[in-house]
Amino acid sequence: MMQSMEKMKINLREMILKDYPPIKFIYECNLYSLGGDSGNKKAKPVDLSSKTFHQQEELLFNDLLMVLLGFNTDLISCKVDENGRFKWDLNESADNCTMASVKKCIMIAEILREVKVSLNTIKNRPICGIITQTICTIMEKYITDDFNNILYGLQRQPEKYISKILLALKDEEDVLVDFLETLREIMVSNIFGGQVISYLHERSTKCGNPSVKIGQLQQKILYACLDYYNKILYEWIIFGTLQSDPCLEFMVWNIKRHENSKWEKVSENESFSKIYIEVPALCPSIYASVQKYIFNCGKYLHVLEPNVMKRCTNTIYDPTILEFKNQYEMRNIIVEACQNHSKAVLLKLRQEHHLFDLFDAFNDIYLGRSASWITDLVFLFEDDLCQSTDKAETRRLNILFMEALRNTNLARNNLKKMFKVECRKTLLETLSEYNSILIQQDTLAPCGTYNTSKLTSETIFINLEGSEALSLVLSQQVIVQYNVIFKLFFALHRCVHLISQKRFHSVRPLNRYQQLVLYKMLHFVTKYFSFCFHKIIPQGYNAFKKVLENAEYIEDVVSAQNTFLADCFEKCLFNQHSHMSCITAALEIISNVCKDKLSFSIGSAEFDQLYSQFCGNLRSPTIVNHEIFAWFNGPIAFKK
């Protein structure tokens, strides 16, 4: 799944750069004559055996230097055969010892030729990228300056022996081999951007003892690539923009930028997720430990000020930050920047979005602190269903919800308006939705499409229509988790209401057997209700609230909330599908008996069977030492 998503993003990059190429690369390197008559011209038939050893050395010495500079000569030439492969044409009339040295030099020339061909191929690819171009530029500069200067120095020497070429190019051959390995990896693996930096870092730190020169060049290439990447990184963590990344080489892409616009035109009401996507593969390995901080910097800046122009003009910029820093200093800068933005976002959520008041409202709406409004909602909801068994309109459902909220502690009307009642899924379907969100991997766009269920008391879903700033804390996954708790709370409370209505307001008087059936059903419901909503959830919420009071960063709030919800799901067994299936089935039987859809005898038998299954689940090896086991098997537990 992850590999397919990364492939999709790479294909997206290719499409964007194809339609809107940022830079047109035209590169020409000094290659050997590969076409025309000159390319297929054979070496002159000079009989070197008639020359003295010194004359042979001198002639081949001069020709080898010209070949290494990229030219064909009379004695040595490079041509292309009928299969399109390169082939060296040598005059081998010299003595064997001399020819052995010549062939060693030709091996160096062949490596050099492959490096030049690879440079030419890579730099002219439309998706080359500036980081890859930087590597090629350094390699090209090394060839034209360092390598060629050695050859020019050899040309000026009075003594012309081939062994001097081999001696002078001993380290240079290793450098060229290293260059070729790097270029081949870039071409074969099709890596770019941050992937190239990760590869370079791995090569420079892997085991082995490279020569001093190779090590220096590897560091030079790595730091040059990092320097460019860091400029994009600085812009992202300070301004939240990506103007410095025309080739999509950074770990975050602005997918709307390449629409022939010279500036990042972002609507103020456009969400961050619709503009930017994260590409984790393009995060260099040296920044892997701070990857989430890098991405969050831009997200927090977008929340603090959605308008790009205002954000950039109001930001105080220190130009000294662009000075070279090692990877440890850079990681500290990234973390510090993210923490500063995180503090500012949390302050904004507290002051402008009333985050803590909202969490207090959650305790009433989702977590069962206030049962009076749920009672009102049950009454209103049941009455509405009596009038129309078909699907009610969402507007009517929200009116019922707002009427029920009158008894809550929500003092601010703007907070009330954020909650919307929807008809979505049953409890088990909502749990499945939550599990699908957990296993969902990286996507290019969030999916917000839901299949609407027929309206029943089980399909009620309280959604939160908050700002993008609130979504940093209250994600889709979190809202679904809160609704799992709410759905169970509502279902249990509704069953208590239905049983009470049946016991005290039944049209026909109930006999003793029917009263006992309702009593054991009520005992089961209240027992589980008290465990979840009197023992576990209030205790966890109080701990969560204490963390909120001392929270300094937005991550503190997110972590505390995740811990709170995870504990609730684990201790109340909300994450146990078999357990929740048994609970919902039992509640459905209770509802049917109370509404005369099921007779007491059949309902009692089915309920007893489900209760036995419930007790059996509690005795399973994974739950036998659980708090809920002790709660149901204590001295006041219901006995069959």
Residue 501 has pLDDT above 80, yes or no: yes
List the single range of 88-97, 215-224, 278-287, 487-496 with lowest mean pLDDT.
88-97
Which of the pair, 314 or 273, is modelled with greater confidence? Answer: 273
Q: What is the mean pLDDT of residues 296-323?
A: 79
Q: What is the pLDDT of residue 435?
A: 65
Closest CA to 331 of 237, 191, 472: 237
Break the chain into its structural domains and give their ranges. Answer: 2-192, 224-351, 355-632
> Are 48 and 91 a contacting pair, CB within 8 Å?
yes
* Interacting residues of 313 by C-beta distance below 8 A, sequence separation 6+: none
Q: What is the pLDDT of residue 455?
A: 46
Identify the burial level of 553 via C-beta atoms within 10 angstroms of its C-beta, where 0-12 means exposed, 13-18 middle and 19 or more buried: middle
| Token output for 76 | 């040595």
pLDDT tens for 163-208 read 999 999 998 999 999 999 999 999 998 898 999 999 999 988 875 5
- Name the CATH topology of 355-632: Four Helix Bundle (Hemerythrin (Met), subunit A) (1.20.120)
CA separation for the pair 202, 237 (Å, rounded): 25
Closest CA to 338 of 389, 384, 297: 297
List the single range of 59-68, 71-80, 274-283, 491-500 with lowest mean pLDDT.
71-80
Which of the pair, 40 or 462, is modelled with greater confidence? Answer: 462
Model confidence pTM above 0.85 = no
CA separation for the pair 483, 427 (Å, rounded): 8
CA separation for the pair 591, 613 (Å, rounded): 19
Share of the chain above pLDDT 90, in %: 33
HSE-CB of 103 using CA atoms within 13 angstroms: 8
Q: What is the mean pLDDT of residues 272-296?
A: 91
Q: What is the pLDDT of residue 262?
A: 46
Q: What is the pLDDT of residue 104?
A: 92
pLDDT tens for 336-388 read 999 999 999 999 999 888 888 888 888 888 888 877 777 777 777 676 554 44
C-alpha to C-alpha distances, 69 to 57, 80, 99, 113, 117, nearest whole angstrom: 18, 19, 20, 10, 14
CA separation for the pair 216, 142 (Å, rounded): 12
Which band of pLDDT confidence, cut at 50, 70 and 90, is reported for residue 393? low
Q: What is the mean pLDDT of residues 471-494?
A: 89
Q: What is the pLDDT of residue 80?
A: 79
Q: Find residue 277's DSSP bridge partners.
A: 253
Q: What is the pLDDT of residue 520?
A: 92
CA separation for the pair 165, 243 (Å, rounded): 48
| Token output for 328 | 């440890």
> Are 91 and 42 a contacting pair, CB within 8 Å?
no
CA separation for the pair 84, 76 (Å, rounded): 19
| Token output for 595 | 């509404």
pLDDT tens for 400-437 read 777 777 766 665 667 778 888 887 767 777 777 666 66
> Quick count: other Cβ atoms within 10 Å of Cβ 361?
24
CA separation for the pair 408, 372 (Å, rounded): 8
Q: What is the pLDDT of residue 38?
A: 45
